[in-house]
Amino acid sequence: MIMSFFDQFLSPSLYWNPLIALAILIPWLTFPTPTNRWLNNRLITLQAWFINRFIYQLMQPINLGGHKWAMLLTALMLFLITINLLGLLPYTFTPTTQSLNMAFALPLWLTTVLIGMLTNLTIALGHLLPEGTPTPLIPILIIIETISLFIRPLALGVRLTANLTAGHLLMQLIATAAFVLLTIMPTVALLTSTILFLLTILEVAVAMIQAYVFVLLLNLYLQENV
């Protein structure tokens, strides 16, 4: 019974062919295609407003050298939000509960570090040692800051995976309890179903917030090195 709760996180397959690539590509089909018309429908207008506000908030604290990342970070944000929300639907698979997060976090984090090393090596290495550190503590702080630097991509990937996995498991546990109690104690089952409905709304918010936090942290790493 316990193992069945984790079956939802297994990569789906059809005739022994993994379908994770299909689960990654299909969300792009849900985005409306912009047109050259003067007036667009409400969905495209809302999408354009959301993207413009997101880019403005994301790029405001960064100098002009980091503005070239706007398109990449915006596409990543929309991609993660769409995948996370589609994963809340019944009989669907959420790729962001797998190692897909590390495939995004590690290369992007490494790119920000390399940019800092190539553009200004002194400032990039200066982040490993806070200003005014006592001389005896310098070796210890350098080791601690180096470890914290290399933990960043792991924290990025694990944060998104852990939050989505915990939410999916909690929803399945409450749904199973409501189904079992339906014939035994209908009143309790109704209360459990209400809790499940409220939890589903919370998970929708978590799916969007975690995607935003993932991109925001990447933006902060970029801001340190640009």
The per-residue pLDDT for range 32-52, each reduced to its tens digit, is 666 677 667 777 788 888 888
Cα torsion for 59, 63, 66, 71, to the nearest 10°?
30
What percent of the chain clears pLDDT 90, i.e. is strictly above it?
Answer: 12
Whether residue 205 has pLDDT greater than 90:
yes
Amino acid at 164: L
The values of phi and psi at residue 147, to 5°, are -65, -45
Q: What is the pLDDT of residue 2?
A: 47
Q: What is the pLDDT of residue 18?
A: 67
pLDDT, mean over the chain: 82
Selected residue with higher pLDDT from 174 and 97: 174
Question: Which residues are within 8 A (CB) of 95 and not within 5 positions of it... i.e. 6 or more apart?
Answer: 20, 23, 24, 83, 87
CA distance 215 to 71: 12
Q: Indicate the range of 129-143, 170-184, 194-208 predicted with least confidence.
A: 129-143
pTM across the whole model: 0.81
Selected residue with higher pLDDT from 55 and 40: 55
CA distance 59 to 223: 9
Confidence band for 11, pLDDT divided at 50, 70 and 90: low
Sign, CA dihedral 7-8-11-12, equals positive
Whether residue 90 has pLDDT greater than 60:
yes
Whether residue 3 has pLDDT greater than 60:
no
Tokens read off for 177: 């309890």
Q: What is the pLDDT of residue 191?
A: 92
CA distance 153 to 104: 9
Neighbours of 44 (CB within 10 A): 16
Confidence band for 215, pLDDT divided at 50, 70 and 90: very high
Whether residue 135 has pLDDT greater than 50:
yes
Q: What is the pLDDT of residue 1?
A: 44
Gyration radius of the chain over CA positions:
22
